[in-house]
Chains A and B, each alone.
Chain A
């Protein structure tokens, strides 16, 4: 098969040409602009810049200091809110961690101890059994026992307390907003772009204004967590409610339901299964965020990781990191089991409460029993520290050993990637004059989505430009770009394999599930230990974090091809290879594009976290703003990342839709 030049359409020719021009420009534009005295081509001139970050900062200051809503000030509002959130948090914290204490410091008198470690393990064990079976009970119980044995109990309980508050808040808030969005079209129209934006603004960017409004401490962390974890719940609620069959809705009307009865007796219970998926999402996102929020005072496991990372205490960091993973796995499996729980078989209509809830009773007994025993014998109350195992030194030694033994290989791999791939791409992107990029992005928008998309691309690119973040944005694009390419190169073949081979599918699914349950923070630990800080480490962490959607969507795309088409291919005498290249891949292309799109989104959100390991891009800008509590700077940098994300998202979504239409998969 020769490559037929005539097959290339005019659009493709345009992009080949544009790429060639870009290559030349990247190489020489800097020199030319200097020679012509037109430096503005490479560096956005100061006159063009609009210092929005100052305005934002001024606005935030005014909000906190001056804003007044008649009866109360904005400050009163935030204070009231934080008081409201703090009360339940303190309650849960005292149940799980501190006990009921009066007084401060040495004078503190403990009235009631917190739940004993045995009681907590028994409760999660019972929940595991109730939700699914003995196996799950053993898994969750084991996970929590691990936390006790390996000395992570205190921190883990602090983290758990935050989650226990954040999740109900996130779920309730998301549910109510979702219901409102379902009920009122105008509200939905208002909500959608905000949700889009919230999903694309990096997590860190939330922290800055929240820190400013609520101050350093667990409340800020909780607010950030709820804000971060709520959008998926809103979306899932709307989808789940829309997914209720129209007949059920009609039945509700015909039964004479009032609006309220309709909602709470018909719609919400019918959508319950879908809603549980949302709850699981909220739990996982909360866990992810609680860890990150340790930077603004959440404490717990995230704080342990963070301090260890800063001290380069590899053992301690890894231990706390593993504890996060263990906690995440336990919570994820547990909530998923609750979501898929087959409701009971037909029930006997009249039974006694105790008979119906044997587990509840057992748990209450264990809580009381161990609580009383704990007063007399401490080991019942807190896991005895002599029996704790610490793996810190082991990890330390292991990493040291790897670093000593494989130093050359690791270094060689790193240098190779840097020299052949990372650095050239970075040079290329940074060498492009900004007007040229602006024009290309706008043209791409025009081609895929006509006027509206072109305008959007142009405006968002301009936003980055006028805020003077061009260079950092290009570094972001570069890091994100190389990571996505590598994630694609690894992920798509794995996805193809998983779609075609059941055994491989099981292994891959388990692997990907685990990757997805890990809070993004955790990826940094091993990477930094092996490759130290820098672009390469960041890239590996991003690839690991963003790999999942590339695999998932590819596998899903191939699996959901109409089996008749594949049969048609086999009957036409396709070999396996032809089947893959000529039928499966082209038909799965739109889905794969969506996977890549998701990969980009995840990569961008992870990039901001990698700022911790010293990349110089927009994430770092946000991070600096966070440490300096510079709201304007943080928000503008965050929104800039969102701009890049939105441009990529809209372009790819438009491309995918176009491909789908061409294939007749969607009209």
Chain B
């Protein structure tokens, strides 16, 4: 039986572009190699993707352009029909769903935010946000009440009567976000939602996004080509290259144990203090050993990021105890370790 905490999963998903992709997939026993695909004159946009998205987590798919990340997220929502594999939504295979069932799925369980906003130019903000409810046949008063709620939520109250072209990029994307949330989706797809925005606005929108997520606790698949953004937002990250998922891990694990040189290339320039937790860099205590209180400057939670405790640890002469959720000391953190992390010195 499938793990109930897994909301959305894909198993051996392939997407090949070109002539007759299904037979090529069959022909090589469902697992053609890169050269098999090229020999057949096809393009392997997604190759053998496997991933699990857990209930309530922000799952980021990161890759450079052409890596297949956009194709993969479109396979997950069946905007693009995968060549092979399974897409499991609460354990049910979406690829087996009929057209009608898919419409129902999309109407009630999925929401999507697009890179270039995809707002309808002839509708006002209110009408745009209410649109998904409109196509469901929700009555006008009801859908406008709901639309006003989400518009309020994304901080656009007072702009209901504006047309998209009267809004800035950031505001337009807020409308896009509000629209995707109007139907209270269970899974929320965001396809490079902030890539078209200026860096400052992008940061502001990321904060806004985290704020919304802390309130809503949606299951999120977030696509980006920006590794910093991925690190900042993700609970877990899948890194894609040439249609393949190279590694799926938490930001911290990625930094500590990059699976390949390609991943290491990304992580190299990341400020490690922002990613690593006290647990990851502490000097472990042999189990059962309890450090003397007098030899400590204080306590730090194991999940704290180095960035947030660096000042305090660096200033103290004595090490801090790192404690787990039960309050048991599991390691020590001293200024030397913190400085190592800050200046990126290897251990």
Q: Establish whether residues B122 and A269, one from each chain, have CB atoms under 8 Å apart when the complex forms.
A: yes
**Closest Cβ–Cβ distance, residue B108 to chain A (whole Å):** 8
Nearest B-chain residue to A248, judged by Cβ? B118
Q: Report A-chain residues with C-beta under 8 Å of the C-beta of B123.
A: 269
- Assuming A247-B116, A254-B112, A255-B107, is B163 touching A343 (CB within 8 A)? yes
Nearest A-chain residue to B134, judged by Cβ? A265
- Assuming A269-B120, A269-B122, A346-B162, is B107 touching A250 (CB within 8 A)? no
Q: Report B-chain residues with C-beta under 8 Å of the C-beta of A245.
A: 116, 118
Q: Establish whether residues A253 and B118, one from each chain, have CB atoms under 8 Å apart when the complex forms.
A: no
Q: Establish whether residues A248 and B120, one from each chain, have CB atoms under 8 Å apart when the complex forms.
A: yes
8 Å CB contacts to A: which residues of B119-138? 120-124, 126, 131-132, 134-136
- Assuming A247-B114, A346-B161, is B103 touching A270 (CB within 8 A)? no
**Does B106 interact with chain A (Cβ within 8 Å)?**
yes
Identify which of B110, B116, B134, B161 gathers the most chain A CB atoms within 10 Å of its CB. B161
Q: Can you offer 14 A-B residue contacts whose CB atoms are under 8 A? A: A245-B116, A250-B118, A251-B112, A254-B180, A255-B131, A256-B107, A257-B103, A257-B135, A261-B135, A269-B120, A272-B122, A345-B166, A346-B159, A349-B124
Q: Establish whether residues A254 and B111, one from each chain, have CB atoms under 8 Å apart when the complex forms.
A: yes
Q: Which of B115, B126, B163 contacts A349 (CB 8 A)?
A: B126
Q: Establish whether residues A347 and B135, one from each chain, have CB atoms under 8 Å apart when the complex forms.
A: no
Binding site for B on A (CB under 8 A): 245, 247-248, 250-251, 253-258, 261, 265-266, 269-270, 272, 343, 345-349
Q: Report B-chain residues with C-beta under 8 Å of the C-beta of A261.
A: 135
Q: How far is the CA of A269 from the CA of B132 in the complex (A)?
A: 16
Q: How far is the CA of A128 from the CA of B226 in the complex (A)?
A: 50
Binding site for A on B (CB under 8 A): 74, 77, 79, 103-108, 110-112, 114-118, 120-124, 126, 131-132, 134-136, 159-163, 166, 180, 189
**Closest Cβ–Cβ distance, residue B165 to chain A (whole Å):** 9
Nearest A-chain residue to B112, judged by Cβ? A254
Q: How many Cβ-Cβ contacts under 8 Å join chain A to chain B?
A: 74
3 nearest A-B pairs in the assembled complex, by CB-CB distance: A256-B107, A346-B162, A247-B118
Q: Establish whether residues B79 and A253, one from each chain, have CB atoms under 8 Å apart when the complex forms.
A: yes
Nearest A-chain residue to B125, judged by Cβ? A346
Nearest B-chain residue to A265, judged by Cβ? B135
**Closest Cβ–Cβ distance, residue B51 to chain A (whole Å):** 20
Q: Establish whether residues A251 and B124, one from each chain, have CB atoms under 8 Å apart when the complex forms.
A: no
Q: Report A-chain residues with C-beta under 8 Å of the C-beta of B189.
A: 254
- Assuming A346-B162, A346-B166, A349-B161, is B132 touching A256 (CB within 8 A)? yes
Q: Establish whether residues A250 and B103, one from each chain, have CB atoms under 8 Å apart when the complex forms.
A: no
**Closest Cβ–Cβ distance, residue A246 to chain B (whole Å):** 9
Identify which of A255, A257, A265, A348 gathers the most chain B CB atoms within 10 Å of its CB. A255
- Assuming A250-B74, A256-B135, A348-B161, is B111 touching A270 (CB within 8 A)? no
Q: How far is the CA of A623 from the CA of B196 in the complex (A)?
A: 59
Q: Report B-chain residues with C-beta under 8 Å of the C-beta of A253.
A: 79, 106
Q: Establish whether residues A255 and B132, one from each chain, have CB atoms under 8 Å apart when the complex forms.
A: yes
Q: Establish whether residues B135 and A250, one from each chain, have CB atoms under 8 Å apart when the complex forms.
A: no
Q: Which of A247, A257, A265, A346 contacts B115 (CB 8 A)?
A: A247
Q: Establish whether residues A347 and B124, one from each chain, have CB atoms under 8 Å apart when the complex forms.
A: yes
Extra contacts besides A247-B115, A250-B112, A346-B166 (15): CB < 8 Å: A247-B114, A248-B120, A251-B112, A253-B106, A254-B77, A254-B189, A255-B106, A255-B135, A256-B106, A256-B135, A266-B120, A269-B120, A270-B120, A345-B166, A346-B124
Nearest A-chain residue to B167, judged by Cβ? A346
Q: Report B-chain residues with C-beta under 8 Å of the C-beta of A265.
A: 131, 134-135
Q: How far is the CA of A347 from the CA of B127 in the complex (A)?
A: 12
**Closest Cβ–Cβ distance, residue A198 to chain B (whole Å):** 31
Q: Which of B104, B114, B162 contacts A256 (CB 8 A)?
A: B104
Nearest A-chain residue to B79, judged by Cβ? A250
**Closest Cβ–Cβ distance, residue B183 to chain A (whole Å):** 8
Q: Report A-chain residues with C-beta under 8 Å of the C-beta of B163.
A: 343, 346
Q: How far is the CA of A343 from the CA of B163 in the complex (A)?
A: 9
**Closest Cβ–Cβ distance, residue B97 to chain A (whole Å):** 13
Q: How far is the CA of A345 from the CA of B74 in the complex (A)?
A: 35
Q: How far is the CA of A349 from the CA of B108 in the complex (A)?
A: 27
Q: Report B-chain residues with C-beta under 8 Å of the C-beta of A247.
A: 114-118
Q: Establish whether residues A250 and B124, one from each chain, have CB atoms under 8 Å apart when the complex forms.
A: no
**Closest Cβ–Cβ distance, residue B136 to chain A (whole Å):** 7
Q: How far is the CA of A491 from the CA of B120 in the complex (A)?
A: 41
Q: Report B-chain residues with C-beta under 8 Å of the C-beta of A254.
A: 77, 79, 106, 110-112, 180, 189
Q: How far is the CA of A270 from the CA of B123 in the complex (A)?
A: 10
Q: How far is the CA of A634 from the CA of B104 in the complex (A)?
A: 57
Q: Report B-chain residues with C-beta under 8 Å of the C-beta of A257.
A: 103, 135
**Closest Cβ–Cβ distance, residue B195 to chain A (whole Å):** 12
Nearest A-chain residue to B110, judged by Cβ? A254
Q: How far is the CA of A251 from the CA of B123 in the complex (A)?
A: 14
Q: How far is the CA of A248 from the CA of B119 in the complex (A)?
A: 7
Nearest A-chain residue to B122, judged by Cβ? A269
Q: How far is the CA of A247 from the CA of B172 in the complex (A)?
A: 14
Nearest A-chain residue to B78, judged by Cβ? A253
**Closest Cβ–Cβ distance, residue B30 to chain A (whole Å):** 28
Q: How far is the CA of A245 from the CA of B135 in the complex (A)?
A: 20
Q: Report A-chain residues with C-beta under 8 Å of the C-beta of B135.
A: 255-258, 261, 265
**Closest Cβ–Cβ distance, residue B257 to chain A (whole Å):** 36
Q: Report A-chain residues with C-beta under 8 Å of the C-beta of B104.
A: 256
- Assuming A266-B120, A346-B162, is B114 touching A250 (CB within 8 A)? yes
Q: How far is the CA of A254 from the CA of B159 in the complex (A)?
A: 24
Q: How far is the CA of A348 from the CA of B104 in the complex (A)?
A: 33
**Closest Cβ–Cβ distance, residue B265 to chain A (whole Å):** 30
**Closest Cβ–Cβ distance, residue A13 to chain B (whole Å):** 39
Q: Report B-chain residues with C-beta under 8 Å of the C-beta of A343.
A: 122, 163
Q: Report B-chain residues with C-beta under 8 Å of the C-beta of A346.
A: 124, 159, 161-163, 166
Q: Report B-chain residues with C-beta under 8 Å of the C-beta of A251.
A: 112, 114, 118
Nearest A-chain residue to B127, judged by Cβ? A349
Nearest B-chain residue to A342, judged by Cβ? B165
Q: How far is the CA of A402 from the CA of B71 in the complex (A)?
A: 72
- Assuming A245-B118, A254-B111, A255-B131, is B106 touching A349 (CB within 8 A)? no
Identify which of A253, A254, A270, A347 gathers the most chain B CB atoms within 10 Å of its CB. A254
Q: Report A-chain residues with C-beta under 8 Å of the C-beta of B122.
A: 269-270, 272, 343
Q: How far is the CA of A454 from the CA of B6 in the complex (A)?
A: 62
**Closest Cβ–Cβ distance, residue B310 to chain A (whole Å):** 42
**Closest Cβ–Cβ distance, residue B19 to chain A (whole Å):** 15
Q: How far is the CA of A177 from the CA of B132 in the complex (A)?
A: 28
Q: Report A-chain residues with C-beta under 8 Å of the C-beta of B121.
A: 269-270
**Closest Cβ–Cβ distance, residue B76 to chain A (whole Å):** 11
Q: How far is the CA of A19 from the CA of B255 in the complex (A)?
A: 74
Q: Report B-chain residues with C-beta under 8 Å of the C-beta of A272.
A: 122
Q: Report A-chain residues with C-beta under 8 Å of the C-beta of B106.
A: 253-256
Q: How far is the CA of A351 from the CA of B125 in the complex (A)?
A: 17
Identify which of B110, B123, B124, B131 gathers the most chain A CB atoms within 10 Å of its CB. B131
Q: How far is the CA of A346 from the CA of B135 in the complex (A)?
A: 23
Q: Report A-chain residues with C-beta under 8 Å of the C-beta of B131.
A: 255, 265
